Amino acid sequence: MRGAGPSLPCGVAPRPGQTAFPLGKNLATTGAVGVSDLFWIFFMFSALQPMLRQRLLNAARQRQIAKIERVRGSRVILVVHRQETMSFLGFPVLRYIDINDSEEILRAIHMTDPRVAVDLVLHTPGGLVLAALQIARAIHKRPGKVTVFVPHYAMSGGTLIALAADEIVMSEHAMLGPVDPQLGQYPAASILQAVARKPIQDVDDATLILADQAEKATAQLRAAVREFLADDLAPDKSEELAGLLTGGTWTHDYGITFEAAKAFGLNVRNDIPADVLQLMSLFPQPKRQGVEYLPVPYRYKEPTAPGGRS
């Protein structure tokens, strides 16, 4: 019998109310979702979920950047280095200032009219001296005002960039840091001190070569810092501060507070805009069990007097 719809093989017509199926399938298996299917669905969702979340975060960041630019009439550039679940299956990636960063920042600066103000948001542990110096010199030479915002910390190369700006705006508890050069795992200043404390005949050639590199690296950074400070400080003061920041006065992870930066004579304020802090909240760290709280602002309420009405 010919007609529309599926038919049974070998010319056998289905009984009334019975559904016909193609050859090789049966009622028990057709339309069922197996364990392997569920596994692949879960696998694909796990693989795509970090990428989808990252796309949503990127869109929110772009909106917040555009909002800040409208309010301040500036070009906003971010240098944010922290762990983010961006790679395959959400494994975290840790970054620092490198040549790719300097290339992108220089491109953004070249795309901006020299008279337009630039707001640079820094959140970084530091990185390559070459890359940090490229960024620092580019913003130092701009005719338009350059403001560096430090919501949490800008250490090492981040501080070097901040020193080249016209103004630094820190949050109340933000930190800057020393800019003494590091050669591999050793501070340059410590290498020089170690060599100076030993008779020359007791120092091997490799250490002497390392000390020579340490001396050159320290002198180069001291000159760069002195150049950046010369606009706001007297020559003797800029020389003193450059030596303090590059000469190994502190450990490399020492935190320089707003109060200390102000005492150094730097052009620094601590009234960071709420929009910048909101922007930083769009760069979340991977979830950890060590820190947890309700992510909503709390406002102080005056206590009610005993017997009074609430």
44-68 pLDDT, tens digit per residue, is: 777 776 777 778 888 999 999 999 9
Look at residues 155, 150, 176, 163 and name the one whose alpha carbon lies nearest to residue 228.
Answer: 163
Q: What is the CATH number of the domain that holds 64?
A: 3.90.226
Q: What is the pLDDT of residue 87?
A: 46
CA dihedral (301, 302, 304, 310) positive or negative: negative
Q: Are 113 and 134 in contact (CB under 8 A)?
A: no
The reply to whether 278 falls in a domain is yes
User: What value does the mean pLDDT of the chain take?
Assistant: 85
The three-class DSSP label of residue 247 is coil
The three-class DSSP label of residue 162 is helix
Tens-place pLDDT, residues 121-176? 999 999 999 999 999 999 999 999 999 999 999 999 999 999 999 999 999 999 99
In the numeric block, which tokens belong to residue 156?
A: 């090492």
Domain co-membership, 170 together with 62: yes
Domain co-membership, 162 together with 274: yes
- Beta-strand (E) ranges in 102-185? 117-123, 146-150, 153-154, 167-170, 175-176, 182-183
pTM for this one?
A: 0.78
CA dihedral (293, 298, 300, 305) positive or negative: negative
Domain co-membership, 121 together with 247: no
Asked if pLDDT for residue 293 goes beyond 60, the answer is yes
Region 249-268: mean pLDDT is 97
Q: What is the pLDDT of residue 32?
A: 60
Domain co-membership, 112 together with 146: yes
110: left (phi over 0), alpha (psi -120 to 50) or beta: alpha
Q: What is the pLDDT of residue 124?
A: 95
Domain residues for the domain of 219 are 180-252
Question: Which of 252, 272, 303 represents a domain boundary (last residue)?
Answer: 252
Domain count, the chain: 2
The reply to whether 264 falls in a domain is yes
The reply to whether 238 falls in a domain is yes
The reply to whether 32 falls in a domain is no
